[in-house]
Amino acid sequence: MIHHSSPVSTEMAEISSSQHCFLQQPPKETPSVVDQDSVSSMENEWSLQKLKERFHEMDIEGLYRRYCERLKHSLLLTLLLLFVANGIILLVLFSLEKKSFDEHLEIPIIIGITAGILLAIFLVLQFSRLLHNFITLVSLFIWLLLLGGGLGFMFSQRHMKLPYNDVGYFFIITLLSYTMLPFSRRYAVIVGILTCLSYLIPALTISILDKTFLVTQFIANIIILLSVNLAGMYHKYFVDIAHRRTFLDTRHCIESRIKLEKEREQQERLLLSVLPAHLAKEMKEEMMGRVTGTSLHHSTSTCFHSMYIKRHLNVSILYADIVGFTTLAGECTPAELVRTLNELFGKFDQIAEKNNCMRIKILGDCYYCVSGLPDPIPDHAKNCVKMGLEICDAIKKVAWATGVDINMRVGVHTGNVLCGVIGLHKWQYDVWSHHVTLANHMESGGRPGRVHITMATLDELQGYYKVEPGDGHLRDDYLRENNVETFFVIDPKARNRVTPHMSQHRKLARDNKQRASVRMTRYLSTWGAHKPFQDLPDMSRNRTMYLTPESPRPVSPATGPDQVHVNVIRINSVPNSDVSASVQPSALEEQINERMEQAIEGITAHKQWIKSADMHRLTLGFKNPEWQEKYREMKVPMFKFNVLCAFMIFITMAIVQFTVLPKTPVLIWSYLLSTFTLLLVLFLSFAENIQCYKKHRHPTFSFLASMTSRVWWVRRCLALLVLITILTVAATSILDCGQGRALGLHSNGSGTDPTPSMPQCPNSTSASCIHVSPYFFLSYLLGMLSCVVFLQTGFSVKLVGLTLALVVYSVLLHQTHAWIFDGFDCMYANVSKDHLYVELRQRATIYLVVLYITILAIDRQVEYTSRMDFLWKTKCKREGEEVETMENLNKVLVENVMPVHVADHFLSSSARSSQELYSQSYEFVCVMFASIPNFKEFYVETDVNKEGLECLRLLNEIIADFDELLSKPKFSHVEKIKTIGSTYMAATGLTSTTGQQGVSYPEKLHLMGNIVDFALALVQKLHLINKHSFNDFKLRIGINHGPVIAGVIGARKPQYDIWGNSVNVASRMESTGVMGCIQVTEESAQFLTELNYQCECRGLIDVKGKGKLKTYLIDTSMATGMPHISSYTHRMSLE
């Protein structure tokens, strides 16, 4: 059995890794000169409007919302932990102050309750699924809780008359609303704006009432909050795009996974419909080995073709022939004939399965099976005899019910067999041995309605059935020559077979004026036999089912007027339904959505911290250098917009600093240099777009455009340059504020001596740097905000850059320029000495650390999930190739059972939905039987040749070489039908364009010449084999032409075959032919004479069932290199 490699649990774990998104796409070969259309088309792929339209068309918007909520689950947990830790830190800071809580309990209580609620929410979300379906409401509650805490803190410090009113807190809350809270894009914008208004309106009101309103600072606050909203909107917009693209990619991967599962299941069923399970497994592994280059057969032996034959001891072989069916077949239409055979042999298959027998093959109207395969069965002889009795009984019921004169002749023998398949095309499970030959003659030497057994079988029965002498030697020469003693089994239920009801039914059947074939067909339809490939999935639907927009949509070929007419038989008619084309896509879509829901539920927050075999846990780099290189080379189409957004943040920071901070030379020169640097990077980033509008492209300009769009390290360097520039210029504004030296003691406001516990403060309240010191660390926040917009820069790079920036900012805050921030605290200490107060440096540090952790948490998840998505896409691509390989293998398997056009019929959705049989009549078909009569003399069963196995190895080489001729263009119209022992059967004219339409005379000549050329090619091929194997095998070939009926019968082992008088005569031409010659009928000889083949009249010969027929012989010596006719050899050498 084929092992499915994608259970839901594995898939959930893998898809859950693809939790986030990344703004990149696979690398494409981009020329150095890029036209406008290519750039615009690339950007159109990132159009949010078009993506949303696709989602609405596919009706997956609701599922996508759940997907986004689960993606933000880990970030939401991080947010909760951050603010729980923030609350704990504030409580610790308050407790360290030398002020009593007795008069200021409200603030610690509020902070403690808030932290406790957030911690409770964290624990519920982490360890329970109680709130997972209400995550949006939970996020709204968290936002209101944080917003209320900020407003409460701001109002509690109103008495301090702070000019900036803690804008940093609302800066953080606004950013979190866009990045970490799982709001939709629309709700995130609303929440972000409300957060800013919730600060600005009360701050404006308080400052006006307290007469501390400063226009410049209020404008700076507005610009700061505006910048964080713009950065958040940008981040949310492109993350939404990337989420949707990742969602579609994940959905497409799931679709490929489902299709791969279906293809594997289908391949298994296809193989099992042709071969037994034990052999199918071996052949499947061999087929896959050939594709992957790990074939064991080819690696161990390159001199011989693969052979799948095993020896089995002590089995029973049953041969059964329908007596009188040839006459009945002459009266049947093609549809009736195929239906009749399918119903009869379908019934026989059911009887065989019930009695633990394995059907081997169907030869015309002959059916044979074996009991004791693949595993030994003690009662194999009883099984075969019981089956023989039951099929005799079944056929008698048909005869009595329909009035048709048919019966069964059954022969059974017990012995050893070699079983398997030989050749390269049209695999059919078969058995070989002298015991098989004897079983065949037991059938031909039997009597209608009786089960004919040998002494070996009788011994295995151990008296279970009563028998009587069979006298088979009187009816069969082989039995007489080998002195085989035979017996007839006495049916213990024979007396009860014919009932009065059956006798009455028989009388009514005889009185019926309908043809015997019609009565037969109608009666057999009540058996309800299975149809060929009934249990197989519809391969054509699997191949044409493309639900994702990126998937190619193959165009089905139109049905032209010249298409062959096919007779279609409806089995067990059901009400006509047109839902086959719609239900199946819907079913597949539902299956994909179900898998997506399971994958979404499997997304976890801790997966990125688990040790991975593919990535380093800290740096997230791939351990495979090839993957690392390919990941880096993936294009980032939105990189230029990242630079543009960072530049906009730089502009807002410049406005804030030039509006509020002192205009020092250091500040001015740093912004001049930074502006020039950023404009240069911006120009390089948009070089590809600018180039599209230039009529004359300079080579240098084209080179720059190519470098920025194709070379990953150039983009990485440009991103680093932008980030370093902005982070640096945010810190330079404080450098020109020199260390204050004229420091006085802080006055307590009463003219008394200074309080020793109070810090030293500037003696002048006009120090410009001290008054605006909060905007120094707000500039730091803006500088770090620029890191948010670069979604694909590399986590390790950002980790190093942000860590260095945090260290530098901390040094400025707490060491080199700490006096500035201490001076700010001193200026308001006189009003806060009796109140709880957190120093500015402490608050600034908390905000910087919170922003630092927030950015790293966001970027790490982006980096991790983008890399996992890369791995997922790589695996999906590999699975897509496996799906294509499976599809090709499935097609090869079906075409190994039947011709291509017949296989296409069974792969079509119409044939699958209406449960149809296939039959087709042909006006002109040339049939060939080619046997190796002296192979029977070569075949011996001794210990030296492994009981005949080595003899069959040579036969396998012969048949495989014959099959290889079919791949030549000249013999593309030759269809191999089957092999029967050492007999090779083929035909021409069985194509989809030569059905019931008229065949022109030139076409008839071509078909006849083609089959004769193929027969001569077989002779030539066998001559070469004789040279290398030192044998003297000769072919005996018979060819005939005329109308035939083709069809597929058998549900458990579907088999394509042809029937008709023309086939029977071709078989007789071979069996009565001459070694080394091709025997044809007089009508066929007339065609060949026109083709300049030398035909020698043999005269009248006796043909079983046909009487005397005048036949002709074609000398095959030309194929072995004889000089008197060299034209054929010359033609073959040219081809």
What's the whole-number mean pLDDT along residues 159-170? 69
**So what's the pLDDT on residue 1104?**
78
DSSP string, 1057-1093: EEESHHHHHHHHHHHTS-TTEEEEEHHHHHHHHHTT-
Beta strand pairing call for 1095-1103 and 486-489:
unpaired
**So what's the pLDDT on residue 457?**
95
Least confident interval from 160-164, 194-198, 233-237, 446-450: 160-164
User: Could you tell me the pLDDT band of residue 1119, with boundaries at 50, 70 and 90?
Assistant: low
Residue 660 pLDDT greater than 50, yes or no:
yes
Query: Other CB atoms closer than 10 Å to residue 591's CB: what's the count?
Result: 15
**So what's the pLDDT on residue 451?**
95
Task: Give yes or no for a contact between 166 and 841, defined as CB atoms under 8 angstroms apart.
Answer: no
350 or 751, which is more confident? 350
- DSSP state, residue 934: T
From residue 730, alpha-carbon distances to 183, 380, 777 in Å are 31, 91, 9
Half-sphere exposure (Cβ direction) of 495: Cα atoms closer than 13 Å: 1
**So what's the pLDDT on residue 403?**
78
- 736 residue type, one letter: D
**So what's the pLDDT on residue 400?**
84
What's the whole-number mean pLDDT along residues 571-599? 55
**So what's the pLDDT on residue 562?**
34
User: Could you tell me the pLDDT band of residue 464, with boundaries at 50, 70 and 90?
Assistant: very high
**So what's the pLDDT on residue 1133?**
46
**From 264, 1034, 1068, 1098, active-site residue:** 1068
pLDDT digits (tens, 9 = 90+) for 300-356: 445 677 778 888 999 999 999 998 887 777 777 777 777 888 888 888 988 999 999
Both tokens of 222, joined, read 């507005």
pLDDT digits (tens, 9 = 90+) for 864-895: 777 777 777 777 777 777 777 777 776 677 67
pLDDT digits (tens, 9 = 90+) for 96-106: 765 555 556 77
Return phi, psi of residue 102, to 5°: -60, -35
What is d(CA 837, CA 824) in angstroms, rounded to the nearest whole number?
13
What's the whole-number mean pLDDT along residues 752-762? 42
Both tokens of 935, joined, read 């192979």
Exposure b/e, 407-421, CB count within 10 A at least 16 = b: bbbbbbbbbbbbbbb
What's the whole-number mean pLDDT along residues 17-33? 39
- 185 residue type, one letter: R
Residue 471 pLDDT greater than 80, yes or no:
yes
DSSP string, 936-992: HHH----TTTTTTHHHHHHHHHHHHHHHHHTTSGGGTTEEEEEEETTEEEEEE--ST
What is d(CA 590, CA 579) in angstroms, rounded to the nearest whole number?
16
User: Could you tell me the pLDDT band of residue 580, with boundaries at 50, 70 and 90?
Assistant: very low
**So what's the pLDDT on residue 617?**
67
Query: Other CB atoms closer than 10 Å to residue 1122's CB: what's the count?
Result: 13
> Which among 768, 808, 802 is positioned nearest to 785, based on CA atoms?
802
What is d(CA 63, CA 661) in angstroms, rounded to the nearest whole number?
49
**So what's the pLDDT on residue 555?**
34
Residue with the two structure tokens 């799931």: 254
Task: Give yes or no for a contact between 948 and 417, defined as CB atoms under 8 angstroms apart.
Answer: no
pLDDT digits (tens, 9 = 90+) for 1033-1046: 999 999 999 999 88
Half-sphere exposure (Cβ direction) of 473: Cα atoms closer than 13 Å: 9
Residue 829 pLDDT greater than 60, yes or no:
no
**So what's the pLDDT on residue 1118?**
65
- 298 residue type, one letter: H
**So what's the pLDDT on residue 946?**
85
What is d(CA 64, CA 859) in angstroms, rounded to the nearest whole number?
22
What's the whole-number mean pLDDT along residues 729-743? 68
What's the whole-number mean pLDDT along residues 828-840? 62
605 or 469, which is more confident? 469
> Which among 424, 263, 273, 423 is positioned nearest to 894, based on CA atoms?
273
**So what's the pLDDT on residue 883?**
72
User: Could you tell me the pLDDT band of residue 565, with boundaries at 50, 70 and 90?
Assistant: very low
What is d(CA 1109, CA 148) in angstroms, rounded to the nearest whole number?
108
- Stated pTM of the model: 0.60
775, 779, 780, 783: CA torsion to nearest 10: 170
What is d(CA 259, CA 540) in angstroms, rounded to the nearest whole number?
11
Residue 127 pLDDT greater than 90, yes or no:
no
User: Could you tell me the pLDDT band of residue 573, with boundaries at 50, 70 and 90?
Assistant: very low
What's the whole-number mean pLDDT along residues 1075-1103? 90
Both tokens of 1131, joined, read 């033609």
**From 1027, 1104, 1106, 1110, active-site residue:** 1104
Residue with the two structure tokens 């380093």: 616
What is d(CA 730, CA 453) in angstroms, rounded to the nearest whole number?
102
**So what's the pLDDT on residue 650?**
94
Burial class (CB in 10 A: 0-12, 13-18, 19+), 665: exposed
Residue 212 pLDDT greater than 80, yes or no:
no
What's the whole-number mean pLDDT along residues 802-822? 88
From residue 435, alpha-carbon distances to 402, 442, 674 in Å are 36, 10, 95
Burial class (CB in 10 A: 0-12, 13-18, 19+), 32: middle
**So what's the pLDDT on residue 382?**
95
1095 or 715, which is more confident? 1095
**So what's the pLDDT on residue 129?**
76
Query: Other CB atoms closer than 10 Å to residue 583's CB: what's the count?
Result: 12
**So what's the pLDDT on residue 927?**
96
pLDDT digits (tens, 9 = 90+) for 42-93: 444 556 666 666 676 666 777 777 777 777 778 888 889 989 998 888 888 8
User: Could you tell me the pLDDT band of residue 282, with boundaries at 50, 70 and 90?
Assistant: confident
What is d(CA 495, CA 498) in angstroms, rounded to the nearest whole number?
7
Mean pLDDT, the chain, integer:
76
**So what's the pLDDT on residue 547?**
30
Exposure b/e, 94-117, CB count within 10 A at least 16 = b: beeeebeeeebeebbebbeebbeb
583 or 868, which is more confident? 868
What is d(CA 1116, CA 1074) in angstroms, rounded to the nearest whole number?
11
**So what's the pLDDT on residue 983?**
92
| Residues 968-974: contacts with CB under 8 Å, at least 24 apart | 968/1135, 969/1135, 970/1010, 970/1013, 970/1135, 971/1010, 971/1013, 971/1014, 971/1017, 973/1007, 973/1010, 974/1010, 974/1011, 974/1014
**So what's the pLDDT on residue 603?**
61
1104 is catalytic: yes
Return phi, psi of residue 310, to 5°: -130, 155
Both tokens of 706, joined, read 């190519």
The crossing angle, in degrees rounded to 10, of helices 639-660 and 774-785 is 170
User: Could you tell me the pLDDT band of residue 771, with boundaries at 50, 70 and 90?
Assistant: confident
**Listed ranges 40-44, 1015-1019, 1057-1061; the one with the highest mean pLDDT:** 1015-1019
